[in-house]
Structure 1
Amino acid sequence: MGANVSSSMADDDGPQRPRLGDIPENCVALILTFMDPPDVCKFARLNRAFRAASSADFIWESKLPSNYRFIIEKVLENSDMVEKLGKREIYARLCSPNSFDGGSKEIWLDKSTGGVFLSISSRALRITGIDDRRYWNFISTEESRFQTVAYLQQTWWLEVEGEIEFQFPAGNYSIFIRLHLGRPFKRLGRRVCNLEHVHGWGIKPVKFQLTTSDGQHDVSKCCLDNPGNWVNYHVGNFVVEDPNSLMKIKFSVTQIDCTHTKGGVCVDSVLICPSSVGKEARSLS
């Protein structure tokens, strides 16, 4: 017993091993710059030193997209606030959906990568015949991030067009349009889909295409299918090489073969996202 007491006293008087909290805050901050944002937030919960280091501006400056000031000017009414906010606060704010252009568009960052995602509502698109309620009308639905979609009952000529001028970080991007065959609604709290007007989409393919202000062009065709489910149809890809310049992108979805009518499709929104998302973007809602 005496030996144990002596040993304990010797340990107390001897040199102590360094602890995690002994690491200098600036060293911790340098380590955190090499981590993805979710990991930075996890390590911030370890102790006081890590929590303080995780708020360093230079950490989050490296996580923000190169065009974050351009985005802030788009989504904040008072863009001067950017000078008052810390970079971590800016990152957190941009990771939530931020609407602009009267609520017709939304932009947000991927929490893990900082990649830019942009969504354009059906109300911001040019749809041939949208003002004629015999063919088209806007319907409310909780299944859209914009709470409204354009519903086509029947037409001979499908033509949906849109454009946006934006400053994107350098990289590869893809454009998708979110469509739904059938009219979804709720009955007694359960999701129901009315397929009454769905017809004509398996006869001829729909044409998807995009062009950019620097001369890029992409085009593809496919028949609409999978009634009762939202599908992100791939419109095309484009590349941004100069992150400091505005790029104008025009895109369209057409089926103008007038030998048959088609109908029963909902047009929700257009999604622009990093191509690295790949096939996963088809299931984004």
Structure 2
Amino acid sequence: MQLLPPPSPLTPPPPVWEKFLPPEYSSLILESQVSTLKKELYFSLCNNPVLIEDGQKSFWLEKASGKRCIMLSARQLAITWGNSPQYWQWISIPEARFKKVPELLDVCAFEIRGWMNTRILSPRTHYSAYVVYKTRSGCHGFRDLPIQVGICLVGQKATKRFICFDEELMKSKEREDGWIEAEIGDLFNEIGCDEIELSIIDITSPYWKRGLIIQGIEFRPVKKLW
């Protein structure tokens, strides 16, 4: 049997890292990054979320798997009284990913709904969804108040659970970026041709509420427990 000669040192290695990048990665990077090594691009997309769809969504990759992660901005949510300045105001804060985020000034009926197509997520992947928020020092009306949340694919029955924006009840988790998150629920994205529907609702409490800032809804792959 004749042995093949070793590959030339000038032969380029196979594009190992390119297979971890999304097909549209060239539109997600800066012009100065075009000549960057694919490995560096991959870790850049893992560590530095980029805005897509006219700044209405934030996109990044999960480092361990290369799966897509998405944050849906509050502008793409249906917030009851969200465009009424006496109830909600849209503000710019440096720690937010988006240009404007809504701050709750005063409402009694608290209701947020959202929809998103699953084609933007990785197929055959189990996702969890989180509401990402902050509270002002004068936050009021949420103490000991259960907020009903739910998520499902349109046409299916939503899984309901309760969260609480009262941090003392330990229903929420502080993140490395300084925001707080509370899990809404989870779903399995099979082939990416469905519509997600989610809700965050309290319409029964008689208390007026204020001091909550909503950044958006985040979708991340569920971490596997080995």
What is the TM-score when the length of structure 2 is the normalising length?
Answer: 0.76
The alignment status of 1:111 with 2:68, answered yes or no, reads: no
Is the contact made by 2:145 and 2:166 (CA closer than 8 Å) also made in structure 1?
no
Cα distance change of structure 1 residues 73 and 124 upon mapping to structure 2, 3 Å threshold: farther
Q: Distance in 1 between matches of 2:148 and 2:26?
A: 35
Cα distance change of structure 1 residues 147 and 92 upon mapping to structure 2, 3 Å threshold: same
Instruction: Give unmatched runs, 5+ long, in structure 2.
Output: 30-35, 169-173
Larger-gyration structure (1/2): 1
Cα shift at 1:116: 1.2
Cα shift at 1:266: 0.7
Secondary structure of 2:20's counterpart equals: coil
Correspondence list, 1:48-197, <5 A: 52-53=12-13, 56-57=14-15, 59-64=16-21, 68-69=22-23, 71-72=24-25, 91=42, 94-95=45-46, 96-167=48-119, 168-182=122-136, 195-196=137-138
Q: By percentage of residues, which structure has more strand?
A: 2
What whole-Å deviation, never above 9, does each CA across 1:77-119 have from its counterpart, x for those lacking one?
xxxxxxxx99668746744423222111021112342121101
Instruction: Give unmatched runs, 5+ long, in structure 1.
Output: 1-22, 27-47, 77-84, 183-194, 279-285
Cα shift at 1:127: 0.8
Given residue 221 of structure 1, which amino acid in structure 2 is its aligned partner?
A: F
Provide the residue aligned with 2:149 in structure 1. Answer: 208
Provide the residue aligned with 1:247 in structure 2. Answer: 194
What whole-Å deviation, never above 9, does each CA across 1:135-156 have from its counterpart, x for those lacking one?
1001111121114321001101
Q: Distance in 2 between matches of 1:127 and 1:235?
A: 16
Cα shift at 1:204: 2.7
Q: By percentage of residues, which structure has more helix?
A: 1
Q: Distance in 2 between matches of 1:125 and 1:74?
A: 25
Provide the residue aligned with 1:237 in structure 2. Answer: 186
Is the contact made by 1:117 and 1:273 (CA closer than 8 Å) also made in structure 2?
yes
Cα distance change of structure 1 residues 61 and 226 upon mapping to structure 2, 3 Å threshold: same
Is the contact made by 1:181 and 1:226 (CA closer than 8 Å) also made in structure 2?
no
Q: Distance in 1 between matches of 2:167 and 2:223?
A: 25
Q: Distance in 2 between matches of 1:239 and 1:73?
A: 28
Cα shift at 1:248: 1.0
Secondary structure of 1:264's counterpart equals: strand
Cα shift at 1:166: 2.9
Correspondence list, 1:29-48, <5 A: none
Is the contact made by 2:129 and 2:185 (CA closer than 8 Å) also made in structure 1?
yes
Greater relative CO, 1 or 2 (CA 8 Å, sep 6+): 2
Q: Distance in 2 between matches of 1:98 and 1:150?
A: 20
Given residue 207 of structure 2, which amino acid in structure 1 is its aligned partner?
A: H
What whole-Å deviation, never above 9, does each CA across 1:62-81 have from its counterpart, x for those lacking one?
434xxx33x559858xxxxx
Identity of aligned residues (%): 24
Q: Distance in 2 between matches of 1:178 and 1:223?
A: 13
Cα distance change of structure 1 residues 90 and 215 upon mapping to structure 2, 3 Å threshold: farther
What is the TM-score when the length of structure 1 is the normalising length?
Answer: 0.62
Q: Distance in 2 between matches of 1:250 and 1:216?
A: 10
Given residue 269 of structure 1, which amino acid in structure 2 is its aligned partner?
A: G
Provide the residue aligned with 2:167 in structure 1. Answer: 226
